A and B are shown apart, each in its own frame.
Chain A
Amino acid sequence: MWRLNKVRHKAGGHANSLEELRTKRREKERALRQARRDRQLVSKRLLLNEDEEQDTMEVAPGEQDVVTLFQILQHGGTEKEAFLRPLSKALRDPSAQLTFIKLENSMHLLVGLLTGSDARCRLQAVRCLHELSHSPHTSVASACLPATPYLLTYLSGQSTKFTELCLYTLGNICPDSERVKERLLAQGVIPALAGCIQNHRHNLAVVEAAGFALFQLLQSKDAAQKVIPTVLASSLPSQLLSVLTPDPDFGLAPAIECAWCLHSLTSSSEDHRELLAQGALRQCCSLLVSLGGAVADGNTDQGLELLVCPLLRCVGNLLSSCPAEALHSQLGGVDLVAPLCELVVALLHTLPALAKETAWVLNNLTAHSTESCSALLTLNLVPRLLELLPFSQGINTMVLRVLANVAHKKKEFCVRLAELGLLSALTATLKMADQNVVTLSLEVLFMIIVSCPQIAEQFVSHGGLSVLEAIQYNSDGEVRRRATYLLEQHILTEK
């Protein structure tokens, strides 16, 4: 069983050296990045036996053993379990998996054992199926189709370990093949998952497994049409929300899975009414605030960011559906502005990608909320935002948007921003090589200059005139027009 408190490495490893591990990780990361760009990002999980330690995973026996074992099992006899164990171990090997499914009646045999009267055989049979489900070969998933109605049926059973194995097996096979996914949907995977979480809600290992299975289902390309409406109509949304708060003893894992499910729901579909009605925004926000506080305090509880990330995304996308007048009630009094600013700053040097996502959420929060913009000013958060402006790859552009949101609301806000040092920050950002940064800087500058004539003078005294003059020669026409307009209409006329 994986838990975050250990550094783990994948199958095939006895302990590698640290350097090998790092190289492997980097390669893996590259592969994952490419897979995402190809829209092929899929992962599987393998549940180990209790008696297995990942570090000492045995090298699988050869394919021949699979054939032999199968033949023995086929011939009947009462000692099947004794042969099922080694079979499941043998099936960890990818080529053995392929061999097995090609054997005639192999799946039939497994399904028979899965549904037979011997409970220990059932457990071992599902273990075999689980190993098969983890196969890198997508053809294996289709081979497991005959087992699916039973796997689903067993989700409403009571046996926890068995249920866990069923869930991970289902989660592993559903992204591999359209046929499998459709069959599962037709067979009622969604109500089965909802029922399962309900029945096992006090067993967090099972909840985690169910969350994973649902996540896998939600990754399909047409999830928005085929999966999500059914999910939203079921009891799953409220169940996912109820699991969000991490259990201090069990750890973050179930909450992580459920949060990623919620992110999949909010980012694949525009229909957020159900989730908003269930109070998703408020709950995600308050959890984000408490977790964010822990991150900002330097709490190094490993994996916290794995939960913060999907929460941020849920909040960001839910905010985009929330009409401005409902914002206050939807947030339920949770003050997001200060925690988000703290979080951006805290994440900037450890996880800049997450810092960028946090800034995005701030944009959505401040876009149409005068209250949030006002809070940024009164809580003295603007200087911290200004400190973020040197950082690229989307961070400064997003922060400039936030500042523009504030400036856009009221003239008083513009004056206040100027007092807080925005002008000298802008004279720096106007010189940056990134055209998006320059354009946004000009927009902000325009708003604050127009709000108050003295600001134009201050800008000039900050040496802003020469940079605007230089910008008039920029290669981008839009940028040139803005600089020229600003100079001619608002700055040079003042002088």
Chain B
Amino acid sequence: MMLQPDVVQFIAMGGSQTHNGDEEEGFRGAAEQQVEGNPFTFSPQLLRLHRDHELFEDGDVFRHMYLQDLFISEAEEQPAPSVSEFGCHISGCRAVFSTLHEYEHHYNSLHRHVCCSCRRSLPSARLLDIHIQEWHDSLFTILAQKQDMYLCLVEGCGQKFRTSQQRKDHLIRLHKYPPDFRFDKSRKERGTREASREQRTDTAVEAADDVCRSEGVCEVMCGVESNQLEREESMETHASSEEAAQSEDFSASAQTPETNTERLKPRYSYRVPKTVCFGHGSVRGFRGQRGRRK
């Protein structure tokens, strides 16, 4: 806990362990500490708290309630301990959650398997790989002119096709996929919004056809019809938030009215520089839905 230095006589006695030398194989003398650039700074500290310290507030109030004859010991009015919220780390994404499941779901849905180049979020590593190959790999484009390169999306099928349309037909006919399967958009379709509102899968919130919706650097570089995308996006995420609300992973409270108004609020800007990309799948921050606020 960070203590307020102006209130507290905070005395850190971190360095006085040499007399315990024999037993001390810990970090005092470890080579680690001397490594250049090691940002870790923890050392055990004795915390002396002045009587005015905020940590003592509740106990003092208690004490004075007793002095003024207002003390009741029964637990009826004592507040329950509060539980830490989980919060999405990605800078710009301010989502908070009350359970680990919600956090994981949010993170896995929105921030994993993100394509570096176009920042789409795909639901799995496999689909991400396929996407990158087909959309951003010029070698693929060249090879595809001569060979069957378009891989069937169903894992284990393994069939390849000369064009994406052929693959799509295969998916529909053999694997009974819907004709507008979200994760099989062809490159040409980028930018068109097929506003399909029907059932989506759990991991449906794709970054989709927006290149970027955030303010700041991205806007300058894309110069896209961000207004149009904003509007469309808000409809889309509205739909998906409804759907997500039905998902069993989320807590029960009906939140749609609230999220409606939230959708109209401005997006957070995207601060991570474009050049930063972790591997093929990038953990990227961008506008995702806001988490359930309690």
Binding site for B on A (CB under 8 A): 2, 4, 7-10, 22, 24-26, 28-29, 32-33, 36-37, 39, 41, 43-45, 54, 212, 256, 260, 263-264, 267-268, 270, 300, 302-303, 305-306, 309-310, 313, 316-317, 319-321, 323-325, 348-357, 360, 363-364, 366-368, 370, 390-398, 401, 404-405, 407-413, 428-429, 431-434, 436-438, 440, 442-444, 446-447, 450, 466-467, 469-475, 478, 481-482, 485, 489
Pick 25 A–B contacts, CB within 8 A, sort by A: A25-B65, A28-B65, A28-B68, A36-B60, A43-B67, A305-B62, A309-B63, A317-B49, A350-B75, A353-B58, A364-B47, A391-B81, A391-B82, A408-B42, A410-B23, A413-B26, A429-B84, A431-B100, A431-B103, A436-B1, A450-B27, A470-B111, A473-B91, A475-B91, A482-B39
B96 & A469 in contact (Cβ 8 Å cutoff) = no
A76–B219 CA distance with the chains assembled, in angstroms = 93
What 5 A-B pairs come out closest when comparing CB atoms?
Answer: A433-B87, A353-B58, A267-B51, A302-B73, A352-B81
A355 & B26 in contact (Cβ 8 Å cutoff) = no
B46 & A9 in contact (Cβ 8 Å cutoff) = no
Residues from chain B with Cβ under 8 Å of A363 in the complex:
45, 47
A447 & B45 in contact (Cβ 8 Å cutoff) = no
Closest B residue by C-beta to A430: B89
Extra contacts besides A319-B46, A434-B85, A437-B84 (10): CB < 8 Å: A33-B57, A39-B52, A313-B56, A348-B81, A350-B78, A366-B44, A367-B44, A431-B103, A443-B41, A446-B40
Tell me whether B264 is interfacial, beta carbon within 8 Å. Answer: no
Tell me whether B158 is interfacial, beta carbon within 8 Å. Answer: no
A475–B270 CA distance with the chains assembled, in angstroms = 11
A2 & B69 in contact (Cβ 8 Å cutoff) = yes
A15–B90 CA distance with the chains assembled, in angstroms = 56
With contacts A29-B61, A267-B49 taken as known, whether A470 is within 8 angstroms of B89 at the C-beta atoms is yes
Binding site for A on B (CB under 8 A): 1-2, 9, 11, 13, 16-17, 19-20, 23-27, 30, 32, 35, 37-53, 55-73, 75, 77-92, 96, 100, 103, 107, 111-112, 271-272, 278, 283-285
A443 & B40 in contact (Cβ 8 Å cutoff) = yes
**Nearest-CB distance from A420 to chain B (Å)?**
18
Residues from chain A with Cβ under 8 Å of B32 in the complex:
450
A264–B85 CA distance with the chains assembled, in angstroms = 35
With contacts A320-B48, A394-B55, A404-B42 taken as known, whether A349 is within 8 angstroms of B81 at the C-beta atoms is yes
Do most interface residues of chain B lie in helix, strand or loop, or is the interface mixed? loop
Residues from chain B with Cβ under 8 Å of A319 in the complex:
46
B26 & A268 in contact (Cβ 8 Å cutoff) = no
Residues from chain A with Cβ under 8 Å of B45 in the complex:
363, 367, 401
A356–B88 CA distance with the chains assembled, in angstroms = 26
A325–B19 CA distance with the chains assembled, in angstroms = 8
Residues from chain A with Cβ under 8 Å of B79 in the complex:
352
A41–B79 CA distance with the chains assembled, in angstroms = 22
**Nearest-CB distance from B132 to chain A (Å)?**
18
A317 & B285 in contact (Cβ 8 Å cutoff) = no
B83 & A391 in contact (Cβ 8 Å cutoff) = yes
B83 & A303 in contact (Cβ 8 Å cutoff) = no
Residues from chain B with Cβ under 8 Å of A391 in the complex:
81-84
Closest B residue by C-beta to A308: B59
**Nearest-CB distance from A267 to chain B (Å)?**
4
Closest A residue by C-beta to B28: A408
Residues from chain B with Cβ under 8 Å of A317 in the complex:
48-49
A433 & B86 in contact (Cβ 8 Å cutoff) = yes
A93–B20 CA distance with the chains assembled, in angstroms = 63
Closest B residue by C-beta to A367: B44
A306 & B71 in contact (Cβ 8 Å cutoff) = yes
Q: Quick one: which of B40, B81, B88, B283 contacts A355, CB cutoff 8 A? A: B81
Q: Quick one: which of A22, A355, A485 contacts B38, CB cutoff 8 A? A: A485
Q: Quick one: which of B38, B56, B64, B78 contacts A32, CB cutoff 8 A? A: B64
A466–B65 CA distance with the chains assembled, in angstroms = 48
Residues from chain B with Cβ under 8 Å of A366 in the complex:
44
A8–B67 CA distance with the chains assembled, in angstroms = 11
B91 & A22 in contact (Cβ 8 Å cutoff) = no
Most chain A beta-carbon neighbours within 10 Å: one of B61, B77, B278 = B61
B81 & A411 in contact (Cβ 8 Å cutoff) = no
B72 & A7 in contact (Cβ 8 Å cutoff) = yes
B24 & A367 in contact (Cβ 8 Å cutoff) = no
**Nearest-CB distance from B27 to chain A (Å)?**
6
A442–B40 CA distance with the chains assembled, in angstroms = 8
A303–B71 CA distance with the chains assembled, in angstroms = 8
Residues from chain A with Cβ under 8 Å of B23 in the complex:
370, 409-410
Most chain A beta-carbon neighbours within 10 Å: one of B2, B25, B84 = B84
A291–B259 CA distance with the chains assembled, in angstroms = 50
A443 & B42 in contact (Cβ 8 Å cutoff) = yes
A375–B72 CA distance with the chains assembled, in angstroms = 36
A360 & B87 in contact (Cβ 8 Å cutoff) = no
B39 & A395 in contact (Cβ 8 Å cutoff) = no
With contacts A263-B51, A360-B49, A394-B1 taken as known, whether A370 is within 8 angstroms of B25 at the C-beta atoms is no
Q: Quick one: which of A24, A260, A270, A409 contacts B48, CB cutoff 8 A? A: A270
**Nearest-CB distance from B282 to chain A (Å)?**
10
Q: Quick one: which of A357, A410, A429, A432 contacts B55, CB cutoff 8 A? A: A357
Closest B residue by C-beta to A485: B39
B44 & A405 in contact (Cβ 8 Å cutoff) = yes
Q: Quick one: which of B1, B59, B60, B107 contacts A397, CB cutoff 8 A? A: B1
Q: Quick one: which of A350, A368, A392 contacts B44, CB cutoff 8 A? A: A368
A391–B62 CA distance with the chains assembled, in angstroms = 21
Residues from chain A with Cβ under 8 Å of B44 in the complex:
366-368, 401, 404-405, 408
Closest A residue by C-beta to B90: A473
Residues from chain A with Cβ under 8 Å of B2 in the complex:
436
A24–B65 CA distance with the chains assembled, in angstroms = 11
Q: Quick one: which of A360, A395, A470 contacts B47, CB cutoff 8 A? A: A360
**Nearest-CB distance from A455 to chain B (Å)?**
14
Q: Quick one: which of A2, A303, A360, A368 contacts B17, CB cutoff 8 A? A: A368
A251–B288 CA distance with the chains assembled, in angstroms = 60
With contacts A10-B70, A471-B89, A485-B37 taken as known, whether A408 is within 8 angstroms of B26 at the C-beta atoms is yes
A324 & B19 in contact (Cβ 8 Å cutoff) = yes
B65 & A433 in contact (Cβ 8 Å cutoff) = no
B86 & A431 in contact (Cβ 8 Å cutoff) = yes
A473 & B283 in contact (Cβ 8 Å cutoff) = yes
